[in-house]
Amino acid sequence: MAATAEVIRPRNLCEAVSHQEALQETWATLRREAQAAKTAEPMLSAFYERTVLRHESYTSALAALIADKLATPDAGAEVVYELVLEAMSGDARIAACSACDLAASVERNPAFPDALVAFLYAKGFHALQTHRVAHVLWQRGRKELAYFVHGRATDTYAVDIHPAAKIGHGVFIDHATGVVVGETATIGNNVSLLHGVTLGGTGKESGDRHPKVGDDVLIGAGAVVLGAIQVGEGSRIGAGSVVLHAVPPHVTVAGVPARVVRRSCPESPAETMDQVFD
């Protein structure tokens, strides 16, 4: 398979999310890796053809991938494919942000040898792209469809991201199982979340009630962040922490309840993925 170095760095792509050249380069990389994988393992030839090589664009391949995951007896893969493709075609940023998420996944997880493996098998990547579709449907007022996509995503990926939640680009959700993101939550650009993270409310209040996560933040496995609080840019939240108060920028918090344990952080904790700070 192709080397990781061929994948566009997420920050570079994020700086040009509207540029079709960057998206086309990501698509070319995927096709090249799929062709190499097909040659290396002929038994999977049909699989690589169906998921990547037969498609004319990244958008088409991603729509088909999501449709295969979400299809039901009542809404088959072809129906879901058309729904997803329509949503993605109406908002060019979905595909561009998706390519940026893909690059982030490869760069931040050494278990992914290349973009193809992340594209085909990374559950966190799939859950995030499915949310992007649900979010566009929600914004267009097609809430019943948004709920359908959200519900299928929850069942399929064990990830619960409300369709109204706003998520930036270059986002990496590692492992993904058990991630919960509430309706009024926002997640900035270049953020990394691990499995079991909750961005939730503090009770049954209505209105703005969920966390606002800034750019370049790293949130460790099992961390719980509750309420409409700010998580400052470039900060880290330790695994298993319970965060009930605002987190200043560029600090590390940990514990139950969480407190500041370090006053400085790497420039971008989300990229370094450094979770050791004793």
Residues counted in the chain: 278
Q: pLDDT at position 263, please? A: 86
Lowest mean pLDDT among 16-25, 52-61, 155-164, 211-220: 16-25
CA distances 258 to 176, 194, 224, 239, 275, Å, are 22, 17, 10, 10, 15
| Residue for token pair 């579709």 | 133
Residue 245: Cβ within 10 Å count: 12
Q: pLDDT at position 3, please? A: 42
Helix (H) / strand (E) element for 181: namely: strand 180-181
pLDDT band per the 50, 70, 90 thresholds, residue 19: low
pLDDT band per the 50, 70, 90 thresholds, residue 18: very low
Domain boundaries, the chain: 1-161, 178-278
pLDDT band per the 50, 70, 90 thresholds, residue 206: confident
Please provide the average confidence, as pLDDT, over all residues in the chain. 91
pLDDT higher than 90, residue 135: yes
Q: pLDDT at position 276, please? A: 82
Q: pLDDT at position 63, please? A: 95
Instruction: For residue 220, give every residue at least 6 positions away whose Cβ sits within 8 Å of its Cβ, in sequence order, or none.
Output: 194, 197, 236, 237, 238, 239, 240, 241, 275
Lowest mean pLDDT among 150-159, 205-214, 266-275: 266-275
Q: pLDDT at position 205, please? A: 79
φ, ψ at 14 (rounded to 5°): -60, -30
pLDDT band per the 50, 70, 90 thresholds, residue 91: confident
pLDDT over 90 percentage in the chain? 81
pLDDT higher than 90, residue 8: no
For residue 180, which of 127, 217, 233, 115 has the smallest C-alpha distance?
A: 127
Lowest mean pLDDT among 121-125, 172-176, 240-244, 268-272: 268-272
Query: Would you say 24 and 18 are in contact if contact means Cβ atoms under 8 Å apart?
Result: no
Q: DSSP string of 146-169? A: HHHHHHHHHHHHS-EE-TT-EE-S
β pairing state of 180-181 and 160-161: parallel
**Residue 16 token pair:** 């040009």
Q: What average pLDDT does the segment 186-207 reach?
A: 93
Question: Residue 190 is which amino acid?
Answer: N
pLDDT higher than 50, residue 1: no
Q: pLDDT at position 5, please? A: 39
Q: pLDDT at position 163, please? A: 98
**Residue 146 token pair:** 């948004």
Q: Which CATH fold would you assign to the domain 178-278?
A: UDP N-Acetylglucosamine Acyltransferase; domain 1 (2.160.10)
For residue 38, which of 106, 116, 126 has the smallest C-alpha distance?
A: 116
pLDDT band per the 50, 70, 90 thresholds, residue 253: very high
User: Can you state the angle between helices 92-108 and 77-89, rounded to 10 degrees?
Assistant: 100
Class of domain 1-161: mainly alpha
Q: What average pLDDT does the segment 70-77 reach?
A: 93
pLDDT higher than 50, residue 181: yes
pLDDT higher than 70, residue 30: yes
Q: Which ranges of 122-234 does DSSP label H, i.e. alpha helix? A: 123-139, 143-157
φ, ψ at 114 (rounded to 5°): -160, 180
User: Can you state the angle between helices 58-70 and 123-139, rounded to 10 degrees?
Assistant: 100
